[in-house]
A and B are shown apart, each in its own frame.
Chain A
Amino acid sequence: MITKKNRLVTIIYFKNGNIVQSKLFKQHKVVGDPFTIIDRLSAWNADEVIYLNIRPQLSNINRQDKNIKYSSNFDDVIKFVGKKAFMPLTIGGGIRNLIDVEKYFEMGADKISINSSIISNPNLIYDCSKIYGSQSIVASIDIKKDLNNNYQAYTNGGKENVPNVLSDYIKKIEDLGAGELLINNIDRDGMANGYDLELLHLVQKLTKLPIIFAGGVGKFQDFLKGIENKLNAVAAGNIFHYTENSYYEAIKYLYEKKCNTRPPRLNKI
């Protein structure tokens, strides 16, 4: 008997006060308001939400050109989101030290996603796992193929390659005490050509940690492919912004395909 469900994880990309769709980590198209999105995800009964600030260096600029009643500062957004997210919430983007980590837990985050600081502050994952437990630390790894056709991990929004080969990098992350991996394929980002199953199989071989996998979902069948390939947490960002009830429609599709997800449900906002 299986009681565990597969997870459909939605990733929200926040950039300078807006929610954006992302393409190849370079082009970003504004698709919505950072506050209302969380009401929609609550209404859709989302399994899990990962809220990422993809350009943290811009986050403290309060935009004057937007005619909204709230501040567009990332922390103010998360303060608001934390109060409304009665689902598992992961926060990431620009987390450098324990003070940042504590700040987001205090705002209602359940997990923290750490990416660039794996390299710039390697003790951070270790310290967090001792204080908050491994289960609250997600190591986020952005990957693309290099010129020799090898998978290579990157930090800083896909700009800097990490010094280690991927297998060593993942081993290092496990040893530091991360509880989960968030894998994003840069080459597939926004391309809607499906998950890179070759990469999925490689990562599955390299780690025993739970994997959240993203990059390339263009249609609901792509999630199905992930689940058929033993992926428990299928994730995407862009696809949830195309149509009004896309998350609900996606989980309905998977449920009807007997993918062992939670049943689809719509709540009133």
Chain B
Amino acid sequence: MIGLINYGGGNFRSVSNALKYLNINYLEITSYHDLKKVNHLILPGVGSYNNLISRLKSMSLFDELLHYMSYKKNFYLGICVGMQILSSYGFENGKIEGLDLIKGTVDKIPANKEILPNIGWHNIILENKKSLLFKNIEDHEMLFYFVHSYYYNLIQEEFCSSSIFYEKKLTASIEKDNIFGVQFHPEKSQAGGLKLLKNFCEL
């Protein structure tokens, strides 16, 4: 079963609309009890790193997510901030501890010439050609919608599955065994994005 976390004030609705369009059944997760019922989990994030971490903690989901991913090895897809919280620390509104599942920090994009937030479509560069998340996505569909000012600064490049260039190379998606994350918004990226969500749900 696919689970979709609704922590209030995310883009839960956009992702749920996309899953409905794809005829994928999902369970809306509002409490840690429900995590036991799913083996695929999507966390659509919007807003700030610290806000998401504190919401997850107040719902007792923080520790449960660690258990879900590192002990039970179930599939996880974090979108935007939902990906960023996989890091060791985030530096949005102070230093905040993350789930620390894929080593790295979430830092402000070091842009001098370019405008922040980075809003718009990017042609992503596939770094991991074997990534199952991007299976059957045609070259002309490798365009995804980004909205962010912070990026995942990975310690081990091998976990970067795709990237963009915005003054410097930035992580667009990450992948480590059962754990996936995308900085962009697949639910808002039309054909390529819908295929990516479908790919995840079919893992």
Contacts and interface: CB of A to CB of B under 8 A. Distances in A.
Contacts of B47: 131-133, 136
A15 interface: no
B108 interface: no
Interface in A172-211: 179-180, 208-210
Contacts of A45: 190-191
A136 B46 contact: yes
A135 B147 contact: yes
A5 interface: yes
Contact of A83 (B11, B17, B120, B191): B17
A110 B188 contact: yes
Contacts of A89: 188
A78 to B, nearest CB: 11
**Most chain-A Cβ atoms within 10 A of its Cβ — which of B122, B149, B188?**
B188
A159 interface: no
A5 B17 contact: no
Given A86-B188, A210-B115, A107 B13 contact: yes
Contacts of B48: 133
Contact of A87 (B20, B125, B165, B188): B188
- Interface residues of A: mostly helix, strand, loop or mixed? loop
- Interface residues of B: mostly helix, strand, loop or mixed? mixed
A98 B122 CA distance: 31
A211 B18 CA distance: 28
Q: How large, as a class, is the contact surface on chain B?
A: 35 or more
B70 to A, nearest CB: 28
A144 interface: no
B26 interface: no
A106 B140 CA distance: 31
Contact of B125 (A3, A4, A180): A3
A140 B17 CA distance: 27
A33 interface: no
Given A5-B121, A135-B149, A110 B9 contact: no
B117 A5 contact: no
A47 B144 CA distance: 10
B121 A4 contact: yes
B65 interface: no
12 contacts: A83-B20, A86-B188, A86-B193, A88-B185, A105-B11, A105-B13, A110-B14, A132-B9, A135-B147, A135-B148, A210-B117, A210-B119
Interface of B: 9, 11, 13-14, 17-18, 20-21, 46-48, 51, 115-125, 140, 143, 145, 147-149, 164-166, 185, 187-191, 193-194
